Structure 1
Amino acid sequence: MKATAIGPSNIAFIKYWGKKDEVLRLPENGSLSMNLSNLFTTTTVEFSKSYTEDYIEINSISESNEGSRAVKHLDRIRSLAKITEKAKVITNNNFPTGTGLSSSASGFAALTVAAAKAAGLELSEKELSILARQGSGSACRSIPDGFVEWLDGNTSDTSFALSIFPPDYFEIVDVVTVVSTDKKFLATSEGQQSARTSPFFEKRLDLIKNKIDRVKKAIEDKNFSEFGELIETEALEFHSILFTSNPPLFYWTPETVRLMKFVQKIRSEGLECYFTINTGQDIHLIVQEKDLNALKDRLKKVAEIKNIIVNSPANGTRVVGSHLF
């Protein structure tokens, strides 16, 4: 059987960093995110007796099966479905891969939903989120709709993501400012292994639940100023953990820092805009819908920006009828 799914990337407002369990990908802390409407992965999966090995193609490039996370994920799904057929997987991302824009989140969310459907599994949203998490932690947040909370949990069954507000609840926009399409020097999954070497990591864990509650309340109240201040501070605190790890992790470029200063400048001039940033060089600028055009006008004057991608809050991963092969 063949199935196709489209999975959105997501931007974490409260980040997760570090794992309690590397195999199950249980996070050290919970997190909050928003699905992004214009950063997504489309994946078609077909299981068939005619295939003698798994074939995986990402953005028209064939991937090696040796130790592949995708093949391991297919094995999980085959085990659940009690099938042995090999699979053909074709995946397309509509945005740069491996640059810090969470392509692994959208990728493993789409792979999970498409492969589960192709294998004949009927899984709940919670079950799909748990399964996606085992492929890539943040992928579990791309399964539910809109604004999402990932519960850290202490077991596989208690660590999953759920929607806390629908996409149209909070009228904000995420403008991704692409300053480079170069792949980041170190994958997020590798960087997380040094999380506990930062002297500030334990303090972060002590404060994280309160931060999650405050951001959820700001969204619930549609208090954009409170929300923006919280997520910008969180982004800087998060990267301070990376800076002080052993070895230190620097994902920013000079262009990244200049854009941070640009945000501070336009905010001082009356355009309310905040930033957040994942493990990469590209910055997410968060504004209210009413201020989007004003922000776009200002961004035209910033030489460091190679491209912008405007995102509204989006639904989670969905099965679609149009296949890639």
Structure 2
Amino acid sequence: MDTFKASWTSPSNIALVKYWGKYPVQIPANPSVSFTLSKSLSKLSIIAEPDSSKEINVDFYFENELNEKFKVKIVKFLSTKLERFPWLLDFHLIIHSENTFPHSSGIASSASSMSALNLALLSLDQDITGHKPQAEDFFKEASDLSRQASGSAGRSVYPMLATWGEIDSIMDSSNFYARPVDKKDVDPIFHNYCDSIIIVDAGEKSVSSRAGHTLMETHPFAEQRYARARFNLARLLVAMKDGDMKTFIEVVEEEALMLHSMMMTSIPSYILLKPESLMLIEKIKEFRNVQKIPVCFTIDAGPNIHLLYPAEHKAAVQAWLASDFGQFKVIHDEVGNGPEHLKD
């Protein structure tokens, strides 16, 4: 039996309309939409060596060091996929993964790593079984598998902008896999939008995203949140098609603050924002009003701030960040072209 290898890079993504709350198994309680990033990537390779143990056998290396914590997570996921990939019992998998960004930096590493993992699995499946689906079907299945591994990872398999979840205005939208937004449906100003991530706190979150999703099950405002997210998504897609920057900023910032308001009003409540997060939000609004540059912020489930702005203002915005916020580490990124299959 031959040895096989597959390698992919896959990007993280930053949600504009947030996915928060889910049903079994990894079904979103509301639809979402996200920018696919360019530089914030996971690079993952799998070597599949013949093995006669007839059990799932994995060695997982993160940045060249054996990592048992991630290994357990991956083995647990793979054990649910034996019907789809029966050959997993015939191979020993040696997985190497690394990120281009630091862990706990406000960039969703599970989205990039789990999408890279499933893209590599599907590439191995093609080589081992000889079955090669059409590209559209390949990425559709990759999105579904990635979603099952880590919800928002399903959006990372597509370039630029991707929706996930059932959306009234989109006939083929689905809770099972993400859908790319066609470039012609997005004003060119958003095609290369910038995202500068300001690191307020790189430490471990006090409450995990998984726990946060669970708390939505009994949240007193859950249904109102889901309805508002659907409304905001419809508004945002129209605004991005029309190049309506005012509405884009309103929706993106509302979604960021609403995400954290749900955390603060859950039972039990919790707060992930830091005093510096609030200071940065105020400074961003002030800069926008004074300089008339359409910057805005979004925040994932953590304290770090994603500063979004058109590429034409890159020099001015990054100069401002360097002069006024030198005490913070800043990661500069922009909208990207999606995953890449690496050839040896």
TM-score of the pair, normalised by structure 1: 0.90
Q: Is the 8 A contact 2:38 2:336 kept in 1?
A: yes
**Equivalence map 1:92-171=2 (5 Å):** 92-120=98-126, 122=132, 124=137, 125-152=139-166, 158-166=175-183, 169=188, 170=190, 171=192
Please report how far the alpha carbon of residue 68 of structure 1 lies from its aligned counterpart in structure 2 after TM superposition: 2.1
- Alpha-carbon distance between aligned partners in 1 of 2:326 and 2:201, rounded to the nearest angstrom: 9
CA apart distance, 1:67: 8.0
Contact 2:28 2:175 in 1 (8 A): no
Could you tell me how far apart the structure 2 residues matched to 1:185 and 1:207 are? 27
**1:295 alignment counterpart:** 317
CA contact (8 A) 1:168 1:313 kept: no
- What is the CA-CA distance between 1:64 and the residue it aligns to? 1.8
| Structure 1 residue 86 corresponds to structure 2 residue 99 | no
Note if contact 1:51-1:88 (Cα within 8 Å) is conserved in structure 2.
Answer: no
Please tell me whether the aligned partners of residues 5 and 317 of structure 1 are also in contact (alpha carbons under 8 angstroms): yes
C-alpha separation in 1, matches of 2:114 and 2:287? 36
- Cα distance in structure 2, aligned partners of 1:289 and 1:105: 24
Contact 2:198 2:330 in 1 (8 A): yes
Give the TM-score normalised by the residue count of structure 2. Answer: 0.86
Aligned equivalent of 1:75? 79
Deviations 1:65-115 (A, max 9, x none): 698221223334543132112311110011122443111000100011012
What residue in structure 2 maps to residue 317 of structure 1? 339
Deviates more, 1:111-120 or 1:212-221: 111-120
Q: Report SS of the residue matched to 2:83.
A: helix
SS at the partner of 1:68? helix
Task: Report the alpha carbon displacement of residue 181 of structure 1 after superposing the two structures with TM.
Answer: 2.1
Give the structure 1 partner of residue 257 of structure 2: 236
Of residues 289, 295, 305 in structure 2, which corresponds to 1:283?
305
Q: Distance in 1 between matches of 2:310 and 2:77?
A: 38
Structure 2 counterpart of 1:204: 225
| RMSD, aligned α-carbons | 2.3
String of CA shifts for 1:138-183, please: whole Å, max 9, x gaps.
0000011211000249xxx752101113499424211111223222
- The 2-side partners of 1:132 and 1:220 are apart by 28
Residues paired across the two proteins, number: 318
Q: Structure 2: where are the runs of 5+ without partners?
A: 168-173
Q: What is residue 8 of structure 1 aligned with on the other side? A: 11
Residue equivalent to 1:35: 36
- Corresponding position of 1:213: 234
Quick check: 43-52 or 59-68, which moved more?
Answer: 59-68
Give the CA deviation at 1:228: 1.3
Deviation of 1:208 (Å): 1.9
Q: 1:168 to 1:221 in 2, by over 3 A?
A: closer
The answer to which of 43-52 and 257-266 deviates more is 43-52
Once residues 285 and 134 of structure 1 are traced to their aligned partners in structure 2, the CA distance between those partners, rounded to angstroms, is 29
Contact 2:110 2:153 in 1 (8 A): yes
Unaligned segments of structure 1, at least 5 residues: none
- The structural deviation recorded for 1:7 is 0.6
The residue matched to 2:217 in structure 1 has which SS?
helix
1:176–1:65 distance in 2 versus 1, CA, 3 Å: closer
More moved, 46-55 vs 197-206: 46-55
User: Secondary structure at the residue paired with 1:95?
Assistant: coil
- After alignment, is 86-95 or 172-181 more displaced? 172-181
Q: Distance in 1 between matches of 2:72 and 2:300?
A: 24
- Structure 2 match to 1:59: 63
Matches of 2:162 and 2:70, distance apart in 1:
33
State whether residues 152 and 160 of structure 1, in contact with CA within 8 Å, keep that contact through their aligned partners in structure 2.
no
Identity of aligned pairs, percent? 27
Quote the Cα distance in structure 1 between the aligned partners of 2:219 and 2:175. Answer: 27
Q: In structure 1, what is the Cα distance between the partners aligned to 2:115 and 2:166?
A: 18
Distance 2:22 2:166 in 1: 10
Partners of 2:105 and 2:212 lie apart in 1 by: 14
